[in-house]
Amino acid sequence: MRRLVATGRSNAELAAHFGVTESGILQAKRTAGLAKPMLDHGRALPWKLNRVHNQTGPATNLRNLSAIAQGAHVPQAKVNTALRWARRLAESGLDVGYSYEDGFYERPVEGTSHIEAVLNEALRALGESGSGTTTKPSDAQ
């Protein structure tokens, strides 16, 4: 299996080759140390999301900021988009909230800013210092 994984075969292809389910392939890959570690976005997305809100801009930006903070590779365009979005909120004194029925919404910061905490974790991982409210986007964005 290690050799087939190294050739870039998909889990579906591996499952067909070995006559098992894709779930079985994932389990075997984890056991053999061949699976990429799963990222945990629970801190960035602490809400139980309604399925219809999973791919919205705020959910995607929060997941991308979380991935950055965890050291995962995120394409530069997605990094720029997520940082620009989070900085806009933080610099405006806004935070993000969530309602299972209605989705994400912007609201004034009450106490600790969730968006600023997520932003600052991503900035630290990128090697940028300072608070999300004081670090300006670079001209490259």
Compute the average pLDDT of residues 111-139.
Answer: 76
pLDDT at residue 139, as a whole number: 36
Per the CB < 8 A criterion, the answer to whether 81 and 27 are in contact is: no
Q: How many residues does the chain have?
A: 141
pTM: 0.71
pLDDT digits (tens, 9 = 90+) for 44-77: 999 999 999 999 999 999 999 999 999 988 999 9
Tally of CB atoms within 10 A around 53:
18
Question: End-to-end distance of the chain based on CA atoms, in angstroms?
Answer: 42
pLDDT digits (tens, 9 = 90+) for 88-101: 999 999 999 999 99
Compute the average pLDDT of residues 7-22.
Answer: 93
Across the chain, what does the average pLDDT equal? Answer: 90
Phi-psi region of 43 (alpha: psi -120 to 50; beta: other; left: phi over 0): alpha
> Element (H or E) spanning 32, and its range?
none
